[in-house]
Amino acid sequence: MLALVLSLAVSAGCTTSSPPSPDHDDQRAGCGPLTYEKVRGRPPAYLDTPALDRFRNDHAVCAGVWVRAGRGFVPQGVVVGARAAWVSGFDGDAPLHHRYCAIAQVDLRTGRTLARLDPVTGRVGDRDPVTCRHGGGLVQDSHGLWLVETSRLWLLEPGTLDVVRVWALAPPLRGSFALLDGGGRLGIGRWYPHRPGQVDWFDTDDLVASGALDVALATAQRSTPAPRGTQGAVWGALGGGRPGAWFVQSVTRCGVLVGPEGTRRRGFVPGAEGMALAGRNGLWVVSESGAEHYQGLGGRPVVPTLVRLDLSDFAAWRRPGCSV
């Protein structure tokens, strides 16, 4: 295993002030740290060294999966089922305004791609056809897969990945990440690099029943704050206590998990984006750090596309060794 590369450079549009500390305590509960040989799926050909990099609290990493969803694919959101995961993302090699969404369904045991939709296209009512860009957040409820992007909300059928419906997000709404709360409400999160973000909450039954083509802030049931630079979120009772929204702040060299109301900051997966709970003590996380787009920039830690963490000793997790 390689020590995490120490560098102060940042990915485009993001900043980080200090790299993770290389010291670790491997005697705590957990399955890891994970080794390169244990990652499921076929390793990417672009990786120069067959080793994973270390990060704070990686003793809790129980499994990893390489997701091969096309050249240039940068993962962003994740939904996890019993044996498969759906991963959303975009083509990081394309020009900025042509970074179209893609979704891949992946076998969690083998890393094999089961289905893929690239690009994601549809119509908002009878308006002109549109193509999804970025694909920042992904969640699932009884209606299907909800995919959020900057200016639109998409509903897809999980089994076929067919587009069921598309809504436009009326400003100031902004679809950067997504989560479902304990009551099944959809949270559409706004990402801002230098000021607090916001989550606007919607009833998905109302969205589906309505004939409206635009989702407006006025129809939100409530709005709640999010940390600046939030890249992903999940609702749960991590480490005990009351359930709430947990947010991940990250750049490609650093990850920080932030508890409800900004409490309990913990070291986390570099490049972390979307998250999904798995059973009582499991958490799947999708990371963009190991994507070819960022590995090609140099100095980014090698992290599997999907990482599963054991939360059984979450209360003892260490504070971040880096900042975002």
List the CATH number of the domain containing 245. Answer: 2.115.10
Q: Examine residue 24 and state whether it is found in any structural domain, yes or no.
A: no
Q: What pLDDT is recorded for position 169?
A: 98
CA-CA-CA-CA torsion sign (89, 151, 268, 94): positive
Q: What pLDDT is recorded for position 29?
A: 55
Mind listing the pLDDT tens digit for each residue in 215-225? 999 999 999 99
Q: Examine residue 162 and state whether it is found in any structural domain, yes or no.
A: yes
Q: The tokens 């972390």 sit on which residue? A: 272
Q: What pLDDT is recorded for position 312?
A: 94
Q: Examine residue 321 and state whether it is found in any structural domain, yes or no.
A: no
Q: What pLDDT is recorded for position 54?
A: 96
* Backbone phi and psi for residue 96, each to the nearest 5 degrees, phi listed first: -50, -45
- Facing residues of 80 across strands? 85
Q: Examine residue 300 and state whether it is found in any structural domain, yes or no.
A: yes
Q: Examine residue 232 and state whether it is found in any structural domain, yes or no.
A: yes
Which whole-number Å values give the CA distances from 80 to 90, 107, 145, 152, in the listed order? 19, 10, 11, 22
Q: What is the count of structural domains for the chain? A: 1
Q: Examine residue 16 and state whether it is found in any structural domain, yes or no.
A: no
Give CA–CA dist 221/226, Å, rounded: 16
Q: Examine residue 224 and state whether it is found in any structural domain, yes or no.
A: yes
Give CA–CA dist 236/244, Å, rounded: 5
Is the peptide bond prior to 301 cis by the omega test (within 30 degrees of 0)? no
Q: Examine residue 221 and state whether it is found in any structural domain, yes or no.
A: yes
DSSP state of 177: E
Supply the mean pLDDT for the chain: 90
CB 177 within 8 A of CB 274: yes
Which whole-number Å values give the CA distances from 310 to 75, 118, 122, 132, in the listed order? 21, 32, 38, 33
Give CA–CA dist 58/22, Å, rounded: 11
What single string gives the DSSP state of each residue in 71-104?
TTEEEEEEEE-SSEEEEEEEETTS-GGG-BEEEE
Angle in degrees, CA 317, 27, 254, rounded to 5: 40
Give CA–CA dist 85/104, Å, rounded: 8
pLDDT tens series, the chain, 324 aa: 333 333 333 333 333 333 333 333 333 456 889 999 999 999 999 998 889 999 999 999 999 999 988 888 999 999 999 999 999 999 998 888 889 999 999 999 999 999 999 999 999 999 999 999 988 899 999 999 999 999 999 999 999 999 999 999 999 999 999 999 999 999 999 999 889 999 999 999 999 999 999 999 999 999 999 999 999 999 999 988 889 999 999 999 999 999 998 878 999 999 999 999 999 899 999 999 999 999 999 999 999 999 999 999 999 999 999 988
Q: Is 298 exposed, middle or buried (0-12, 13-18, 19+ CB in 10 A)?
A: exposed
The boundaries of the domain holding residue 297 are: 36-316
